[in-house]
């Protein structure tokens, strides 16, 4: 995050309302990339048949993350090696951890078929989170539409996993617990359908809220300097803002792990409903 730019904006406008506007400006998606003190870049606006396909800051960040993932992983894993070093060793350790501690315990041996998907989800979210910590960049996972899209993809894979394992009809039969009285079916079926929909909703809101909250806290702490109009609170505000920034680095890994773990857990419940 660009703390210096946020501080300058707060100083330029001053007042409680303007500080709030600055905070919202930096956590929301925009069509402008601020490059303080050099100015800003306005992203292209594209409209086709009345539909808005304009490039936004968060969309650009996702393109950058996708390109980084392709380049880094192709470069690191393009040749098989018995012992990797540096970045390759770190990425290999993370891949092995996700396979052995997340995928296989939740999905069993069937999890090997879904390992590429879950690895893609983990590293895409992780890189989006980390990119948001860089000055002038933005956190794509702090956009509810992005997290909603990820959650819908997870919901699709949850259902496809169950259908692939049990067939279409039997999969939906597994949604209702076996052995319940027939007269309870009109109640249980809507409840189970709602339960299936609440899973991606929880994934969406959890990731969005956690990635947005840290940014808001940091800008709010810096905004105290301009609200009190005193440099006395500056050391405390900046110190706490730096602490939260370091904490955000941990949160970036944690939220990628939680999203991947919960997705694999829900997929495992769909593939192995008897467990």
User: Can you tell me the mean pLDDT for 110-137?
Assistant: 91
Q: What φ, ψ does residue 34 adopt, rounded to 5°?
A: -80, 130
Q: What is the mean pLDDT of the chain?
A: 84
Tell me the pLDDT tens digit for each residue of 59-71.
999 999 999 999 9
Long-range CB pairs of 92-98 (<8 Å, 24+ gap) are 94/122, 94/123, 95/119, 98/122, 98/260
Under 8 Å between Cβ of 56 and 138: no
- Residue 64 within any structural domain of the chain: no
Given a cut of 80, is residue 211 above it in pLDDT?
yes
* Structural domain count, the chain: 1
The pLDDT score that the predictor gives to residue 18 is 66
The first and second tokens of residue 4, run together, are: 């210096």
The pLDDT score that the predictor gives to residue 36 is 67
Tell me the pLDDT tens digit for each residue of 75-95.
888 776 666 777 888 898 999
- Neighbour count for residue 269 (Cβ, 10 Å): 17
User: Can you tell me the mean pLDDT for 260-266?
Assistant: 95
Rounded-to-integer distance, Cα 34 and Cα 28, Å: 13
Q: 240: which residues sit within 8 A by CB, 6+ positions away?
A: 221
Helix (H) or strand (E) holding 47: strand 47-48
Dihedral angle over CA of 150, 155, 159, 162, nearest 10: 80
- Residue 264 within any structural domain of the chain: yes
Tell me the pLDDT tens digit for each residue of 148-195.
999 999 999 999 998 988 888 888 877 777 777 778 878 888 888 888
User: Can you tell me the mean pLDDT for 29-42?
Assistant: 76
User: Angle, nearest 10°, between helix axes 111-131 and 57-77?
Assistant: 130
- Neighbour count for residue 86 (Cβ, 10 Å): 8
The pLDDT score that the predictor gives to residue 4 is 47
Instruction: Judge residue 85's burial from the number of C-beta atoms within 10 Å of its C-beta, 0-12 exposed, 13-18 middle, 19 or more buried.
Output: exposed
- Residue 62 within any structural domain of the chain: no
The first and second tokens of residue 32, run together, are: 């402008």
CA distances from 89 to 98, 103, 242 (A): 14, 20, 29
- Residue 20 within any structural domain of the chain: yes
User: Can you tell me the mean pLDDT for 15-31?
Assistant: 70
Q: Among 146, 102, 100, 104, which Cα is nearest to 122's?
A: 102
Predicted structure pTM score: 0.86
Tell me the pLDDT tens digit for each residue of 176-185.
777 777 788 7
- Residue 56 within any structural domain of the chain: no
Our measurement of the distance from residue 116's CA atom to the centroid of its chain's CA atoms, rounded to an integer in Å, reads 17
List the domain range (segments joined by +) for residue 251. 3-37+82-271
According to DSSP, the β-strands at 32-35 and 51-52 are unpaired
- Residue 65 within any structural domain of the chain: no
């Amino acid at each position: 995050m660009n703390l210096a730019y946020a501080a300058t904006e707060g100083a330029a406008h001053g007042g409680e309302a303007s500080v709030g506007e600055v905070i919202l400006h930096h956590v929301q998606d925009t069509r402008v990339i601020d490059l303080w003190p050099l100015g800003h870049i306005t992203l292209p606006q594209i409209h086709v048949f009345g539909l808005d396909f304009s490039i936004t800051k968060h969309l650009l960040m996702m393109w950058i993350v996708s390109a980084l993932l392709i380049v880094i992983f192709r470069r690191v894993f393009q040749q098989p090696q018995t012992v990797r070093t540096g970045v390759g060793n770190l990425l290999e350790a993370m891949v092995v951890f996700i396979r052995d501690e997340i995928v296989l315990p939740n999905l069993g041996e069937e999890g090997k078929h879904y390992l590429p998907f879950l690895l893609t989800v983990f590293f895409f979210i992780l890189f989006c989170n980390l990119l948001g910590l860089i000055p002038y960049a933005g956190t794509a996972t702090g956009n509810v539409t992005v997290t909603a899209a990820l959650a819908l993809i997870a919901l699709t894979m949850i259902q496809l996993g169950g259908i692939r394992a049990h067939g279409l009809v039997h999969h939906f039969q597994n949604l209702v617990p076996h052995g319940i009285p027939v007269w309870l079916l009109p109640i249980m079926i809507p409840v189970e359908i709602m339960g299936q929909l609440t899973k991606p909703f929880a994934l969406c809101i959890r990731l969005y809220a956690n990635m947005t909250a840290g940014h808001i806290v940091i800008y709010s702490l810096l905004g105290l300097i301009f609200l009190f109009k005193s440099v006395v609170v500056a050391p405390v505000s900046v110190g706490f803002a730096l602490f939260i920034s370091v904490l955000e680095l941990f949160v970036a890994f944690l939220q990628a792990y939680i999203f991947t773990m919960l997705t694999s857990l829900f997929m495992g419940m769909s593939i192995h409903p008897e467990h």
